Structure 1
């Protein structure tokens, strides 16, 4: 059995980890700096992130902070405008593209994927576009195949969408109608966009999403293994490695992203991700009706931290309520990007490591704590954790 993919492993250990010990709030903070934010970022570094970057954009302006290092050898600072692989935040952008086609009358959310892509997936005459968007189509996720056990190997290969789908069809299928995270569904959605528009997905994202939202630093690579512009070195922890041993984190900044493509392949930065959710939630990319459907979520096993998943969007359960956006995990980087309902308050956090060990729970809880300190003005606490500790 190959290892659980990084995103699902990280969420699983988060839920099992219990409460992150709150870090003390700063006695005083600048007007534009959320109280306790810097301590939350330092907690993420202490828990295993080489470096961390956070950017906040709202009506008061912009606040950017970094902690840790961009490279474990040179010990340089994380660039304030660092690019990174945003991983599954890509799904929000692909979903918005699909919903634009729905808005234009080119697609229906409830039509079977097999109508446009006959023969691409078993059961395609039953699985709807909506089910692909919210991970209820009963599709295995291809990245759990043995082929994807070692990123230093698969990150050097080129994959076609057909090969990724074939890998998924060799795995046991989850129950249709229940949430089961599947990158395979978004590979199919990428093919759907290309079939309906007659253009490559990267072109449609540029035309429909990046350009209208002002995302001038974002792109979807096909096979090129580098990252344009300033960036931190990305690291990963090999399966079974002891994270406490020096040198256990391996650099993996360069990798052929064809294995991720429409599911989790976009490269961007914190400014652009905040611009994306500002444009999306501000009604500039899809209609209000479709935006409401995007934020109508199915229950996930990751509750209460990530309780619901909509159409390419996921909710994070903070102490002051739910915020919507997405998380992403790919060899080299992990990302959390969320906004309030209007898109006026946005925060993106990036760490330059991908880990699947249980200790990663403390790192990710520190990231959620940082989100909570901005959106809610207080430390994060898992619902029921205080009473459970008592």
Structure 2
């Protein structure tokens, strides 16, 4: 295998804004992407003391160089093969960049319009459909799971739709099961040769999870569980008579013109231009994991999209085009997680020195994504990375890029 030096391209279309320095608490969160499971830990930690100042609309011209440098550092210092990023303001691209290679073997540059696996950002799409159905009085947030999926979930009469959405159901996370493990050479080889090609039906995933004891009683504690969103996908199908992916296509993708967004079912392919995803083998060297059957993850994390599409989706969600005020307010109701961020109904809140941002992060083997936007839906930040050599620098450079894109002025200070 030959490795070509990373290449870097950017396009810009911006006007000036107030230069606002800000700081998000740093952690090497990207390291969790070594596993095949979907994890919620990619997003930058929120600085609890950061004031909620108004968000400036566009990155200033002087910040383009800082954004370009932060983008390159994710590849050159952070052990990622590729990174894509976009800042949108008032419905147009303020800055967009791509660095690195689409394929380590050929050295082909990653295109700015590349598609990528979005992992748990799929949850925000699914949650939006659920809340639209709430607004149509077809689902109640306090409906018990038993009402929509009778006999499927033990204690389903005590678990509500709201608890599925905000991860307080207590239901075991199926990706914690050993059959989905990728840590260690043996587990990774098993997943590479068998696991990533396996087709799972939603009911099979739920049975894997419910064969394990719950983490807690319903509503007693927060514990991230992809099983919650697999169940929500099943509820969408029960209520509408159509698959969760069809409802996302009908209610979100087509109306917003998200041409690069798809929910691939059992297909292992990333359609269109894309960067390969890699994980690092314990014995050394990256393993190409681009091809993988995402059927197990379903509404919890099977999606594929682009920076453009995710920015448009985030804007439409937060400016009220997709949800009524009551449902959007419910989506923003946060619960404590015992970590640095809070979690709502498929949406997290990130307070920064340049205002509150709302969005979600996602990780699936070879790919990591962060989407966030200001509360008015006027400014969005989207970052997709392909990390494979994970280190402290991975988290540091990713964090610096997010900081710079969110508030400009070169990101956080050292320390």
Q: Please classify the TM superposition score into its range, dividing by the shorter chain length.
A: 0.7 to 0.9
Aligned partners of 1:328, 1:8: CA distance in 2, in Å? 6
Query: Which portions of structure 1, spanning 4 or more consecutive aligned residues, are displaced by more than 6 angstroms?
Result: none
| 1:167 pairs with 2:208 | yes
Q: Does 1:53 align with 2:84?
A: yes
**How many Å apart are 1:365 and its aligned residue?**
3.6
Report what 1:44 is aligned to: 74
- Residue number among 211, 229, 245 corresponding to 1:186 in the alignment: 229
Alignment pair present for 1:156 and 2:193: no
Deviation string 1:55-95 (CA, Å, 9 cap, x unpaired) is 12113831211112221111121111000111100000000
The root-mean-square deviation of aligned C-alpha atoms, in Å, is 2.4
- Name the counterpart of 1:216: 259
Q: Equivalent of 2:61, from 31, 34, 53? A: 31
Q: Distance in 2 between matches of 1:89 and 1:166?
A: 24
Corresponding residue number in structure 2 for 1:257: 294
Contact preservation (8 Å) 2:197, 2:292: yes
The alignment's TM-score, normalised by the length of structure 2, stands at 0.80
User: What SS does the corresponding residue of 2:242 show, helix, strand or coil?
Assistant: coil
Deviation, 1:110, is 0.7
Greater mean deviation of Cα atoms: 31-40 or 120-129: 31-40
Aligned pairs for 1:42-81 (under 5 A) are 42-45=72-75, 46-59=77-90, 61-62=92-93, 63-81=95-113
- How many residues are treated as equivalent by the alignment? 356
Distance 1:5 1:70, change over 3 A: closer
Please give the residue correspondences for 1:76-225 in structure 2 after superposition, counting only pairs within 5 Å.
76-149=108-181, 150=188, 151-152=191-192, 153-175=194-216, 176-177=218-219, 178-225=221-268
Task: Report the equivalent of 2:18.
Answer: none
What are structure 1's unaligned runs of at least 5 residues? 16-28
The structural deviation recorded for 1:381 is 4.7
1:22 equivalent in structure 2: none
Q: TM-score, normalised by structure 1?
A: 0.85
Q: Which residue of the partner structure matches residue 375 of structure 2?
A: 341
**2: CA distance, partners of 1:136 / 1:10:** 17
199 and 40 in structure 1: CA distance in 2 versus 1, 3 angstrom threshold: same
Uncovered stretches (5+) of structure 2, i.e. residues with no partner: 1-33, 46-58, 182-187
**Matched residue, 2:328:** 291
Q: Verify the 8 A CA contact 2:35 2:365 in the aligned structure 1.
A: no
In the alignment, what sits opposite 1:364?
Answer: 395
1:169-195 superposed Cα distances (whole Å, 9 cap, x missing partner): 233421232211110000000000000
Could you list the per-position Cα deviations for residues 23-81 of structure 1 after superposition, in whole angstroms to 9, with x for gaps in the alignment?
xxxxxx97285452122222322111111011121138312111122211111211110
1:190-233, Cα deviation, whole Å (9 max, x unpaired): 00000000011221111111112221221111111111110011
* Cα shift at 1:362: 3.3
Q: Is the 8 A contact 2:202 2:230 kept in 1?
A: yes
CA contact (8 A) 2:36 2:365 kept: no
Q: Secondary structure at the match of 2:359?
A: strand
Change beyond 3 A, Cα 1:200–1:180: same
With a CA cutoff of 8 Å and minimum separation of 6, indicate the structure with the bigger relative contact order: 2
SS where residue 83 of structure 2 aligns?
A: strand
For the 8 Å contact 1:34–1:374, the answer to whether it is kept is no
Deviation at 1:296, TM superposition (A): 1.5
